[in-house]
Every structure is written in structure tokens, then in C-alpha cells.
């Protein structure tokens, strides 16, 4: 008999600590967008992250193109910030050009995630998008509180579709 144990993002959600719903990032279905600049649809624009975000609020900084179902980074060093309350934070991403990967760095409350890193990043927060899929960024242990997740992309040409939490 074979026993299959779920791993990474396959592990069931921590329903007792889940206060952040799934959120799509394109203009047609998103909620909680808090960059001071209004969403410019289907054209590149420079955005900034405000000094604070409310729970389930998110913002972007850098040059992004906001499309109906996703956001696309136009230049290096773009960032997504999201305040969430859950054990896990996941992001669906894909490459615009499949000939190279896109490096990124994750911070939680301004610091490397350490033991709270997800299956797709290391303890220092380093990861890379190399195929279209859901990436597990954070897997917390212990007490779950509101946290600020920041993903900084070191390379352009990545698309982000939706955050899921567990």
C-alpha cells in the first residue's frame, strides 16, 4: 500500500487562522488595491506602495502593466506588497518570455522569512519563476498574525495572477 502525504501548497488550509481570501490581481476582478495611483489598464505605469496597508490591502511599486486578469512587470525591481492573515501565502505567476527565469526576493514584515519560508523560496527569501504555476512563498509555524508580505522582482517580464492563502 502506498501512502501519499500532501506537501507544500497541497497541505490543507489552516481554516482557524484564515482571514485573507483569494484575490485576483488584474483590474477586472481585484479587490483591496491601495497604490495611490489609479490602475491604468493595458499600459505601463509607475506605481508606489503607501506607507501602510490595511488587512487584505495590496499595492505595487515600479513599472507595471495592469491587464484584465494579471499584472506584468515592465522593468526590473518591481514590488508587490500585501498585508494578509493566514498560515500560508501563495502567488500564481508565469514568465512572459520562457527563455529565462525571473529572480525574486520575499520579505515578511521587512525581514527574510527564515523558518516561515514556503516551499518555493529559501530562508533568505530567494526564489525564481521558471514555469507557470502557483508558488508557495510563506508557510508560517506558531502564532499567526497580520503580516506584510513583500515580493521584489529582480528581473522584468513576469506576470502575477492571484494570491491564495491557507
pLDDT in tens, 134-151: 999 999 998 999 999 999
Domain containing 125 equals 13-165
Q: How confident is the model at residue 7 (pLDDT cuts 50, 70, 90)?
A: low
1 falls within a domain? no
Instruction: State mean pLDDT over 6-27.
Output: 81
**Sign of the alpha-carbon torsion through 8, 117, 157, 33:** positive
For 38-92, the pLDDT digits (tens) are 998 889 999 999 999 999 999 999 999 999 999 999 999 999 999 999 999 999 9
40 falls within a domain? yes
- Tell me how many domains the chain contains: 1
**Where residue 47 sits, what CATH number does that domain have?**
2.60.120.260
Amino acid at each position: 500500500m502506498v501512502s501519499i502525504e500532501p506537501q507544500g501548497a497541497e497541505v490543507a488550509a489552516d481554516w482557524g487562522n484564515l482571514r485573507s481570501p483569494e484575490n485576483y490581481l488584474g483590474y477586472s476582478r481585484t479587490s483591496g488595491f491601495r497604490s495611490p495611483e489609479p490602475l491604468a489598464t493595458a499600459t505601463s505605469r509607475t506605481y508606489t506602495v503607501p506607507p501602510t496597508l490595511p488587512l487584505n490591502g495590496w499595492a505595487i511599486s515600479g513599472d507595471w502593466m495592469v491587464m484584465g486578469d494579471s499584472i506584468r512587470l515592465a522593468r526590473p525591481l518591481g514590488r508587490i506588497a500585501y498585508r494578509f492573515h493566514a498560515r500560508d501565502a501563495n502567488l500564481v505567476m508565469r514568465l512572459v518570455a520562457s527563455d529565462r527565469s525571473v529572480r525574486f526576493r520575499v520579505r515578511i514584515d521587512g525581514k527574510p522569512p527564515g523558518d516561515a519560508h514556503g516551499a518555493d523560496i529559501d530562508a533568505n527569501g530567494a526564489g525564481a519563476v521558471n514555469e507557470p504555476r502557483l508558488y508557495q512563498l510563506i508557510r508560517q509555524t506558531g502564532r499567526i498574525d497580520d503580516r506584510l508580505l513583500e515580493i521584489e522582482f529582480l528581473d522584468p517580464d513576469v506576470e502575477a495572477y492571484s494570491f491564495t492563502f491557507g
